[in-house]
Chains A and B, each alone.
Chain A
Amino acid sequence: MDKPSFAVQLDRAVQRALSGRAAKRARLDERLAPLLDIVLRLRDLPRPQFRADLKSDLEKKALAAVRVEALPAGRQTAMPYLTVENAAAAIEFYRRAFGATETMRFEDRGKIGSAELVIENSTLRLADEFPDYGSLGPKALGGSPVKLHLCVADVDAFVERALSQGAKIVRPVEDQFYGDRSAQLADPFGHVWIIATRKQTLSREEMQRRWNKILIQELEKMPGHDPIRKGFRTITPYMVAQDGRALLDFVKRVFGAKESARDVGSAGGLHAEVRIGDSMLMIGGGLPGKEFRATPTTTALHIYVKDTDAAYQRALSAGATSTYAPADMEYGERSAGVTDGAGNYWYIATHKGPRYVPKELNDVNVYLHPLRAEPVIKFLQRAFGGHERARYASPDGIIHHAEVQIGTSMLEMGEAHGSYQPTLTMLYLYVQDADAVYRNAVAAGASSLQEPADQPWGDRTGTVKDPFGTTWNIATHTGGRKPA
């Protein structure tokens, strides 16, 4: 069988041909000679990948050509129509400043009734003012709500020429987060033009990411405008008792609360603010000998301490009644329950972990006992942008424990059962925009108790009551003086 040696012999000839050396035809077996002609011609065989790539490139270009063809020359579907105080002067300005070409002018009693300008591939129309027809320019109207956007090849050169012809800078040429380099100019007739050159093509996600980063940087630059009062979290429980001072003394004695502010509250009683660990409590209530007009609240708080047993003992000796004695719980906490003299529930707990507080919770956490948790969670999501972080339900659908994060706080809840019944809780909620969140809350089903208004203590606050009995003071810290 001599075929394998043919194949080897032939490949030597192929190798010589491919490396550009002359084939030694004479040495080749005569039966291989006709193949050598083919080998020489195959050296020019095109790469299939190149052929396919060029085809797809041409198809794209052909499609783009079709799209342009869909518009009659010089016409776009939407065309700006400007009204200017002196159209003839404006045309002259656009010609010099923007390189516009006038393609049509129609005169009406010495004024320009309509003219057409072409700037690069776009057409725009303009006319003089005709006050009788309600047609007025930006100067007469005190500005224009419409800006014109020009995409140009070189924004810097374009702006320089426009400025030399009398345009004024509204915003200087700058690289923008969305990938353009652009500027805003006002022309002498009051129209504003955005001049832009695309430098980078970005995805919508990338634009949003860049914008969010800028927003955060801006907010960090303005410490005086932190919408959350210094030292506070998104949610602060506001406990109101008939005897406010007794409640204040209780939290100091049992939990070592540090008082940071005390004043006469809006209801004519006590307003105090205390800190427990990383959390704040607001306490309001009547004072001996003074009329007190507010309705007391009841609040359930999940409060972390270093030593549950000791805190439980202090609570009892401060007049609280025991709801359950200290015990190790299956969920990794040692916990005890007490009810204070004002009827508030305290779930005292020590987390068995690296810290006495689990890392997703704070020293003081509000606990709700709604009849049904599901609609409360929905309300928190819709009204305050809450995120459900945990849910423990039994097969019969009862939600025993759920956690909803709102801003920097976690709201806990378990459906009412036995001695755990719905509370009349009041919360102070700090948000970016109190007015917007107030509207959201009302739209989500809360009823308004007070529309947002600037308060003397430096917050803008509105109050709503949700359908489940919780009162929300929705506030944005606006700076100014300390709480009254």
Chain B
Amino acid sequence: MASTPKPSRIQADERGLLEAAQRDPAGFAALYELHFDRVYMFIARRLGKRNVAEDLTADVFQRALANLRNFEWRGVSFEAWLLEIAAHAINDRAKRSGRGLRVEDPPEMGAEPDLSAVEQGAQLFRLVNSLPEDQKRVIVMRFAEQESIRAIARRLERSEGAVKQLQFRGLECLRTKLDPRPARRPGKDAKSRPRGGKNG
């Protein structure tokens, strides 16, 4: 696991942002940036469809903005408040649309949401942004925009083989960043080490 800031520090920073946004709603953008990935992940992993997940994510942040003044800092974190709004939104949606909506994991109100899975997903989304530009573009087009390898190759003016290679390297890079321990790839690593030594 990559190191994450200590919870107390997150809370202190977040509290400042939150109180600023409560005084001036224009500060809400900073809170949005901080929580988007987790709220989206929370919703997306329960709902199969991307467009429904987007609708509900928008709904959650709009409700949060409208009710920002009502949020009181009483032990419950802002994130927990957002996820509670999200859980309500998912339930409302499920009730309204009846069988039209596929809820893979209907949240039970009051039950603790699986926050570690949400956090891991959100962390992965953030790591995508830290990839080298060409890898990042392929990963975003392939997974977020669900483009075919052929379409991506055309847009990037690269061969399909090159795009597959970039996809592989991007995923490999994400894996390394998620778990920085050396992979069990003795042959390759062993070969590359002496070369580095010679040069250094």
In the complex, whether A61 has a CB less than 8 A from a CB of chain B is yes
A57 touches B58 (CB 8 A): yes
Chain A contact patch, size range: 35 or more
B149 touches A11 (CB 8 A): yes
A7-B167 CB under 8 A given contacts A54-B61, A61-B65: yes
**B residues less than 8 Å from A55 (CB atoms):** 29, 32-33, 36
In the complex, whether B88 has a CB less than 8 A from a CB of chain A is no
**B residues less than 8 Å from A219 (CB atoms):** none
B140 touches A63 (CB 8 A): no
In the complex, whether A6 has a CB less than 8 A from a CB of chain B is yes
| Total A-B pairs, Cβ < 8 A | 121
A45 touches B144 (CB 8 A): yes
A45 to B28, CA, bound (A): 23
A250 to B98, CA, bound (A): 96
In the complex, whether B45 has a CB less than 8 A from a CB of chain A is yes
In the complex, whether A104 has a CB less than 8 A from a CB of chain B is no
B29 touches A62 (CB 8 A): yes
A63 and chain B: residue at smallest CB distance: B26
**B residues less than 8 Å from A34 (CB atoms):** 175, 179, 183
In the complex, whether B11 has a CB less than 8 A from a CB of chain A is no
Partner of A66, one of B24, B62, B125, B144: B24
Chain B contact patch, size range: 35 or more
Residue with the highest number of chain A CB atoms closer than 10 Å, among B24, B61, B164: B164
**B residues less than 8 Å from A6 (CB atoms):** 168
Which chain A residues numbered 10 to 59 have a C-beta less than 8 Å away from chain B?
10-11, 14, 18, 31, 34-35, 38-39, 41-48, 50-51, 54-55, 57-59
A10-B168 CB under 8 A given contacts A46-B40, A58-B29: yes
In the complex, whether A204 has a CB less than 8 A from a CB of chain B is no
B54 touches A50 (CB 8 A): yes
A residues whose Cβ falls under 8 Å from a Cβ of B: 3-4, 6-8, 10-11, 14, 18, 31, 34-35, 38-39, 41-48, 50-51, 54-55, 57-59, 61-63, 65-66, 69
B residues whose Cβ falls under 8 Å from a Cβ of A: 24-29, 32-33, 36-37, 40-41, 44-45, 50, 53-54, 57-58, 61-62, 65, 120-121, 124-125, 128, 139-140, 142-146, 149, 161, 164-165, 167-168, 171-172, 174-175, 178-179, 183, 185
